[in-house]
Amino acid sequence: MLLEKKVAIITGGAKGMGRGMSTKFAEEGCSIAVADIALKEAQETIEIVKKKGQEGLACECDVTNLNQVKNTVEQVVNKFGKVDILINNAGGMAGTPPIEDIPEELWDKVINLNLKSDFLFCKFVVPLMKAQKYGKIINLSSIGAINPPAHAIAYNTAKAAIIGFTYDLAFALAPYNINVNAILPGPVQTSFYDNFIGSLPEEAKSQFFQGLGKKVPLQRVGTPEDIANAALFLASDQSSWITGITMLVAGGLPLSPNLTPPHRSEK
């Protein structure tokens, strides 16, 4: 097992990519703490973790609230005694109006959810990792940070900032044997898209994702397991000499699927 006897905090682990990573990590021997404002769904994730034979803890947490984040980390340490892996996965959009129509409150909400949350969890987890001279931090950015598929300036700005946050932290924590990397997912079939298609019937949703997949060079949208597999590599000791990278997990994006790749002529 790649993560045997390790302990991971996964923010936003109640569903989607977070649940996928929780499940995959549990299969590899990792105890899981899910930090999410949706407690019922977080508990459902932990039930899956337990069925995989691992210990789990569901923590109701507003990841933008300093006191709640501090309390969550304390709960994890009280139960498991340590934190080996931190997955800063919590995030989301809150509308995509043009910049001139964005209220200040909406801007702050999106920046806090996607960026401040990473800062808060690192603030309380990093000292633990420094003390044990070991740690893996994985920050979830987005392909929108480098190649926005649509105008969502608050979200894309926050995700771009995560890249700089990752680089700086990777440099600062390298002497403590702490690896810090970022994953940039492309389009992944999760409830993230409910803001756009949540009211559609299931058949229409399926058609939406099929159409979205045609824009991807590998001709499909991603799954939570695709992201979980990449995160597993970065969370395991197989990546012990990798820090400060941004890993695109996007089916070939931003390469264009409309260009015909060159083929070697056969003689």
Averaged over 34-47, what is the pLDDT?
98
Residue ranges making up the domain that contains 113: 7-186+223-249
Indicate yes or no: pTM above 0.75: yes
Res 261: pLDDT:
57
In a domain, 71, yes or no: yes
pLDDT in tens, 223-266: 999 999 999 999 999 999 999 999 999 999 999 876 565 565 55
- Which residues belong to the active site? 155
Residue 156: HSE in the Cβ half-sphere, 13 Å Cα cutoff: 16
pLDDT tens sequence across 108-162: 999 999 999 999 999 999 999 999 999 999 999 999 999 998 899 999 999 999 9
pLDDT mean over 87-94: 94
**Model pLDDT for residues 163-183, shown as the tens digit of each residue:** 999 999 999 999 999 999 999
Q: Check residue 155 and give its pLDDT.
A: 96
Q: Return the exposure string of 169-179: e unless at least 16 CB atoms fall within 10 Å of the residue's CB, then b.
A: bbeebeeeebb
**Any domain includes 155:** yes
Count of domains forming the chain: 1
Strands 56-60 and 135-140: unpaired
Six-digit token pair at 114?
């996607």
In a domain, 109, yes or no: yes
CATH number for the domain spanning 36: value is: 3.40.50.720
For residue 242, tell me if it sits in a domain: yes
Q: What angle do CA 8, 11, 17 make, to 5 degrees?
A: 95
Domain contains 227:
yes
